[in-house]
Amino acid sequence: MKLNTPIKFTLFLGLILCLHIILYLVISNYLNIYISATLLFTLLMTSIFFTLKYQFYEKIKIIYKNIYKFKGTSNINDFNLENADKEAEDWANQKEEELLIMQKNENYRREFIGNVSHELKTPIFNIQGYVQTLIDGGIEDEKVNMKYLKRANISVDRMINIVEDLEVISRLETDNNELDFENFNIINQIEEVLDQLELKSNKMNISLKLTNESSSEIVYADKNKIQQVFMNLISNSIKYGKDGGTTKVRLFDMSDKILIEVADDGIGISENALSRLFERFYRVDKNRSREIGGTGLGLAIVKHIIEGHQQTINVRSTVNVGSTFSFILEKEKMNNN
Side chain identity, residue 241: G
Residue 166's nearest CA partner among 239, 113, 122, 125 is: 113
Distance CA 266, CA 270 (A): 12
Distance CA 232, CA 225 (A): 11
Could you state, in order of their start, the residue ranges of all structural domains in the chain?
6-79, 116-174, 180-331
Q: Is the pLDDT of residue 238 over 60?
A: yes
Q: Which residue has the higher pLDDT, 272 or 176?
A: 272
Side chain identity, residue 30: Y
CATH fold, domain 116-174, is Helix Hairpins (1.10.287)
> Do 116-174 and 180-331 fold alike per CATH?
no
User: What is the percentage of the chain residues whose pLDDT exceeds 90?
Assistant: 28
pLDDT tens digits along 152-161: 888 888 888 7
Distance CA 114, CA 106 (A): 12
Question: What's the pLDDT band for 164 if we cut at 50, 70, 90?
Answer: confident
Domain 180-331 top-level CATH class: alpha beta
